[in-house]
Amino acid sequence: MGDHSRRAVLGGALGAGLVAVAAPAAGARGRGAFAGKAVQVTGGTSGIGEATARAFAAAGARVAFCGRRTALGRDVERSIRAAGGDATYFEADVRDPASVQRFVDGAVRRYGRVDIAFNNAGVQITARLHEVTPEQWDDVVNTNARGVFLAMRHQIPHMLAAGGGHVIVNSSVGAVVGRPNLSTYQATKQAVRALVQSAALEYGAEGVRVNAILPGITDTAMIRPANLDDATWERAKAALGQLNVDGLKRVATPTDIARAVLALASDELGYLTGAAIPVDGGIAAGRRMLLPELPS
């Protein structure tokens, strides 16, 4: 748990209207708020990306998602289809330009277009800066920052050709707060936030919007130690929320974040671009002030 309390970082205040989009019903192929939309999700084999792929499919979208773990990807694809959704898994590594191009172009061939891209794939490293090797730095930067750049580089031409689209990048509340032992990770999350701001200006006039979502601490494999049993993790997670999530006092579920992504993607927010929206239970809105014991 030590690492986790140190890692419990991130933060912000959710734009009030964003949670207004109702959770979609399962199995909505051809029906629902996103019926007819073609969606791409990077890193859809687990966690936030998986939850978001499921939520878009349940809301009627046709969803192409990628990741490196083929067995998991196939499981997610099967389970979405069994629930009545339309999803296709592509094996892809976002660090590799050719692999990203195969995913993006293959998904466009499969579903005809890309209306919404959720560029989410990411990894985290927890270590003090001087303990991070150049190879580890490269891996985190190549996944979290270069991977987002590569996905956008291939998605945007399709969107421009179609007259519009919406790119949503999964940054982190780590883009707006610093935390010890996360310098490499936070640097990548600030990098993609900057990418979003400038890209929004480059493509807005041509109908392509670009926004970032900044999740807070979310219950996924990224923060859960692999060796903890469920009961221990539930206790640790409750403490993590109490200690670090100043507003809502609980850690997010992947579905909490997926719902916010769908809300952001909805046409109701069609005037939003270049934004970085924290969805973090209030972490960045304010840190508690702990007072030292004073003599009475």
Ligand X SMILES: NC(=O)c1ccc[n+]([C@@H]2O[C@H](COP(=O)([O-])OP(=O)(O)OC[C@H]3O[C@@H](n4cnc5c(N)ncnc54)[C@H](OP(=O)(O)O)[C@@H]3O)[C@@H](O)[C@H]2O)c1
221 binds ligand X (CB under 6 A): yes
d(CA 42, CA 92): 9
Under 8 Å between Cβ of 203 and 156:
yes
Catalytic annotation present for 185: yes
Tokens of 28: 């909505």
170 binds ligand X (CB under 6 A): yes
122 binds ligand X (CB under 6 A): yes
222 binds ligand X (CB under 6 A): yes
Find the shortest distance in angstroms from Cβ 144 to ligand X: 6
Residue reference for tokens 């592509």:
90
SS (H, E, C) 271-291: CCCCCEEEECCCCCCCCCCCC
Residue of 95, 146, 193, 237 that binds ligand X (CB under 6 A) = 95
Find the shortest distance in angstroms from Cβ 43 to ligand X: 3
CA 142 to chain centre: 16
Per-position x/- string for 75-94, each x denoting binding to ligand X as judged by CB under 6 A, each - no binding: -----------------xxx
Under 8 Å between Cβ of 179 and 11:
no
Range 4-63, binding ligand X (CB under 6 A): 10, 42-49
**Phi, psi torsion values for 222, nearest 5 degrees:** -65, -30
b (16+ CB within 10 A) / e for 132-148: beeeebeebbbbbbbbb
Find the shortest distance in angstroms from Cβ 105 to ligand X: 16
Find the shortest distance in angstroms from Cβ 280 to ligand X: 8
The catalytic residues are 185
State the residues that interact with ligand X by CB under 6 A. 10, 42-49, 66-69, 72, 92-95, 120-124, 143, 170, 172, 215, 217-218, 220-223
